[in-house]
Amino acid sequence: MNSLMELSDSVAVEQARAGDPGAFRVLVERHSRNLFRLAYRMTGHQQDAEDVVQETFLRAFRQLSKFDDRASFGTWLYRIAANCSLDLIRSRKRRGAQTEPAGAEGAPDPMQSLPDPSPAPDRLAMSGEIEHEVATVLAGLSDMERTAFVLRHYEGMCIDDIGRTLGVQPNAAKHSIFRAVQKLRRALEPLVSTAS
């Protein structure tokens, strides 16, 4: 497995296409954490993010033959994950499910006798109010704004790649980011000023 882990993405894709499960496993193990992070930022829910990761690899597996070798496999996965996240968010909206934003996941839970599965000490470093506000604003962004912002801000993807990922012109991606930043700024500036 160690030598497999050293495979580049493109070689692993090639071997996976040839029917080598070990090569696909390398891709899964290599990209899972990044995809989880993206999916969590997009959906705001751990369990939804887990489902998105799973579904992303299933879709990638089914579409492996369509993957263009000239492209980056990571970007291609990101595109699938972003679409899966959007599908999930839309279906959530359709169901009318009232879901809590990421910052509110520690809502009252009757099963307190079990250890918390997701202790997040780093959360303590930040005021709960600000974190909650960030989560609320992110949850209130349009699908396009949130996706473009998450890809730019958290994942460091350039605007051209975001356009490609979302299947829109770079200009549209750019304006989605502007709008997202504007909304965040409007909501957070007063809190940040108070905090500082």
Number of residues in contact with other proteins, rule: CB under 8 A?
71
Burial class for 21, CB neighbours closer than 10 Å (0-12, 13-18, 19+): exposed
Span near other proteins by CB under 8 A; candidates 6-14, 72-80, 140-148, 181-189: 181-189
CB-nearer residue toward other proteins: 72 or 160? 160
Could you tell me which of 90, 27, 16 has the C-alpha nearest to residue 57? 27
Least distance to other proteins, CB of residue 89, Å: 13
CB-nearer residue toward other proteins: 6 or 116? 116
Report residue 27: phi and psi, to 5°.
Answer: -65, -40
Could you tell me which of 5, 91, 103 has the C-alpha nearest to residue 45? 103
Least distance to other proteins, CB of residue 148, Å: 11
Could you tell me which of 87, 5, 98, 101 has the C-alpha nearest to residue 51? 87
DSSP-assigned letter for residue 115 = P
CB-nearer residue toward other proteins: 51 or 70? 51
Indicate whether 96 belongs to the interface with other proteins (CB under 8 A).
no
Q: Please, which of residues 18-57 interact with other proteins by CB under 8 A?
A: 19, 21, 24-25, 28-33, 36-37, 40-41, 45-48, 50-51, 53-55, 57
